[in-house]
Structure 1
Amino acid sequence: MTETAASRRISIFDTTLRDGEQAPGNAMNPRQKLDIALRIEALGADFIEAGFPASSPSEFEATRLISRNLTSARFTTFCRAVRADVDTAVRAGGTDRHQVQIMATGSDMHLLHKRGISRQQAVDEVADTVAHAHALGVEAVSVGIEDASRGEDELLRGIALGAVEAGATCFVVADTSGCNLPQEYAALITRFRGWLPDAIRIATHCHNDFGLSLANAVAGIEAGADEVQATLGGIGERAGNTPLEELAALLTYKGEVLGMHTDIDVSAMYEAYTALRRVIGLEEPRNKAIFGTYAFGTAAGIHQQGMLLHPATYEYVEPARFGRERSLLIGRHSGRAVLRHILDELDITVSDTELTELYRTHIAERAGGDCEDISVLKDRLAGQLLGAALPAAA
């Protein structure tokens, strides 16, 4: 899809391998990170955050591998506002297609309780590190403002203006603690858009502590942000980050309403997510949007009746579009419609009395509480009814 006046292209920054990987239980070795990076690149991500090279030899090696193997996406390294971190990042990945992301301290709470430095020191260290990155030959330097959602405008504006003067090309406005409402986050992005030249990119980075990471990211891009930082499956610190698949799905279906689009290949996302789950040992959730086991499944009789007549009655998001399949599950809430559907497929005709008995024994009073796939019931009915007498009515 080409960008038009009515459709603004939103850049995608994937932080699965940094923010996602640093959360408990999500550790990956360098080769595993490379595999996931290549899968994310194939989806069409614009930037892939390789990790924090100065933090460990493993992160350094992962950055080295990713920087040498990506062919279309740019890679990003995470650095503190310390020259030595940038030196290490450049040694790991060089400068070609390399975006260095420098973390700024964005709130008085963090300055006082974590850093023990003044506002001016926070402004100065970021500007100095940005300038140092440019001196090393890095053209794209991003400033990620930690806890910006609880930051004071005087501090945030000072960081922004100082970093722009030093050569920063992008600002990441982080709702680090996931505390913002969408309207609060939108207002914050609006203020940053007013402080910064139009040529400077703004990215969202939203955490999901209130379940609002997607809503906040959308509010941010509606307010003028150009890019969304997201992760596959929404993995990340605490409750996670903006889920890439939910953002891509939303822009696929509501892009015209929002006047925005991305180039993410939504049909390949589930395969990439499945590979990620295997690597980090993540169980598939049952009810997660787009990627949940039963995101496109139902056991409710009323829903099944409608979907058998026309899937769109209850299925707004189409599973095939995302590499998924719809599933009809048989459980105690299923109705006679699904039973009639199976019998029609088997070319079996039964009386109303016989249908009632089949419904009672196979659905209403079925042993066990778990649902089963419709194909299992179909096989069982075929074995029972084809060439066999029907059960007697109760």
Structure 2
Amino acid sequence: MNAVPAVRRISIFDTTLRDGEQAPGNAMSTADKLELALRLEALGVDCVEAGFPASSPNDFEATRAISQALTRIPFATLCRAVRSDVATAVEAGGAANHVIQIMGTGSDVHLEHKRGITRKEAIAELVDTAIFAKSLGVEVLGLGIEDATRGDPQFLQALTESAVEAGADYIPVADTSGCMTPNEFGDLIGQIRTWAPAPVRIGLHCHNDFGLALANSVAGLEAGADDVQVTLGGIGERAGNTALEELCALIAYKGHKLGLSTGVDLTGMYSVYNRLREVIRLEEPRTKAIFGRYAFGTAAGIHQHGMLRNPETYEYVEPAQFGRDRSLLISRHSGRAVLRYLLEQIDVHPDEEQLAELYRIHIAERVDGDCEDMSVVQARLAAELSPAYSGASA
């Protein structure tokens, strides 16, 4: 008999306002970022990344505003391994309640083609910047590893152990190019965990280039990581980041098996996501997990037949858990079962021959390739077949 794992509370580090904004089309004003930061805090995330203060006046001002407004959780900023970046971040948000993330270079590809420095120089600059940050009174020092998933293990070990010796409280590990599979990433995190034992915390920053950000994040958590860097709706560079809602949904349903839990309010996420969509003018996706327009909707007759009897037949994830409603949509793929259901709701009880004719008239030949909301079809049926019916939707 398999033992049930002890449940540990993981930390949710939200980078919607930093990595999420870096993607094309996702610009946010300082006021937008402040509003979203407060909404994210209310959801129960454990840290909000305000931005990269040295990169722009907007990020500087957003960091200042967010650092002054949050009341229950810390905020974070991103810095290069440069003293001036750290000084700017501390100027923007102070040292208290501030997670400074200094980005170390983890792969030879980046060292040679982006930075033009050696491995030894990369370690030296990370350690120097860490010491400088500590001298400014930074409370939580994060020394991250960019492009760790393409790094040589020997170099990653040296970089990690140097970060620990320099006083790192937190080591975020980035799958910057989204290149790993869950087994590979889990193995990497397990190895880094041996080089950076507790109480140093390990974070995960996964990109979704192969659609594996969520799977990789779970593999990393199972290998001993402490937190996951996420974004609402999975927005972010290229194909995006690990999606907050997908991770929290999975842990809500599978946490007892994974031995994981979060403190995020599941029902409030969708409204915050819709506000984010308004801010960045993001079109509503149709099929995205949890947040897609039709994530909890179906137009297939065989599915509708089962769901009308018991939603559990085709619905493992419950929409109400996430502030959503299920929808049964009428299309040419809908069957007679849903039509009979609609008619019964308006006290119309046809025989089989009449039902077939009503199906032909009101669904098969009337509903085009798209679909209609069930309430619209029901109102039309009521108006035509049940004059006494008020016409109100069910």
Give TM class, smaller chain: over 0.9
Say whether 1:183 aligns with 2:183. yes
CA distance in 2, matches of 1:189, 1:385: 64
Q: CA deviation at 1:5?
A: 7.2
Q: CA deviation at 1:367?
A: 4.4
CA distance in 2, matches of 1:367, 1:178: 42
Amino acid at match of 2:236: G
**C-alpha contact (below 8 Å) 2:206/2:216 kept by paired residues:** yes
CA distance in 1, matches of 2:311, 2:98: 45
CA distance in 2, matches of 1:386, 1:256: 50
Say whether 1:57 aligns with 2:57. yes
Partner of 1:116 in structure 2?
116
Partner of 2:102 in structure 1?
102
Amino acid at match of 1:341: Y
Q: What runs of 5+ residues in structure 2 fail to find an aligned partner?
A: 389-394
User: Structure 1 stretch 298-307 or stretch 345-354: which is displaced more?
Assistant: 345-354
Amino acid at match of 2:83: R
Q: CA deviation at 1:158?
A: 1.4
In the TM superposition, what are the counterparts of 1:213-292 in structure 2 within 5 Å? Answer: 213-292=213-292
Name the SS of the counterpart of 1:101 in structure 2. strand
Partner of 2:127 in structure 1?
127
Name the SS of the counterpart of 2:369 in structure 1. coil
CA distance in 1, matches of 2:221, 2:11: 10
Name the SS of the counterpart of 1:197 in structure 2. coil
Deviations 1:4-36 (A, max 9, x none): 971011100000000001100000010100011
Partner of 1:147 in structure 2?
147
Q: CA deviation at 1:96?
A: 1.3
CA distance in 1, matches of 2:53, 2:136: 16
Q: CA deviation at 1:79?
A: 0.3
Deviations 1:141-173 (A, max 9, x none): 111211000001121111111111111111111
Q: CA deviation at 1:248?
A: 0.2
Number of residues of Structure 1 aligned to a counterpart in Structure 2: 385
Name the SS of the counterpart of 1:143 in structure 2. strand
CA distance in 2, matches of 1:128, 1:94: 20
Amino acid at match of 1:376: V
Q: CA deviation at 1:387?
A: 3.5
Say whether 1:316 aligns with 2:308. no
Q: 1:106 to 1:43 in 2, by over 3 A?
A: same
TM-score by length of 2: 0.96
Name the SS of the counterpart of 1:180 in structure 2. coil
RMSD: 1.1
Name the SS of the counterpart of 1:325 in structure 2. coil
Partner of 2:192 in structure 1?
192
In the TM superposition, what are the counterparts of 1:147-166 in structure 2 within 5 Å? Answer: 147-166=147-166
Partner of 2:359 in structure 1?
359
Partner of 1:392 in structure 2?
none
Amino acid at match of 1:320: A
**C-alpha contact (below 8 Å) 2:232/2:245 kept by paired residues:** yes
Amino acid at match of 1:173: V
Instruction: Give aligned-pair identity as a percent.
Output: 64
Q: 1:370 to 1:5 in 2, by over 3 A?
A: closer
Deviations 1:96-141 (A, max 9, x none): 1001000110000110111000000000100111111110000201
TM-score by length of 1: 0.96
Amino acid at match of 2:82: V
Partner of 1:327 in structure 2?
327
Amino acid at match of 1:280: I
Partner of 2:70 in structure 1?
70
Name the SS of the counterpart of 2:90 in structure 1. helix
CA distance in 1, matches of 2:30, 2:86: 20
**C-alpha contact (below 8 Å) 2:48/2:75 kept by paired residues:** yes
CA distance in 2, matches of 1:210, 1:49: 25
Name the SS of the counterpart of 1:236 in structure 2. coil
Partner of 2:391 in structure 1?
none
Q: CA deviation at 1:64?
A: 0.3
Amino acid at match of 1:116: G
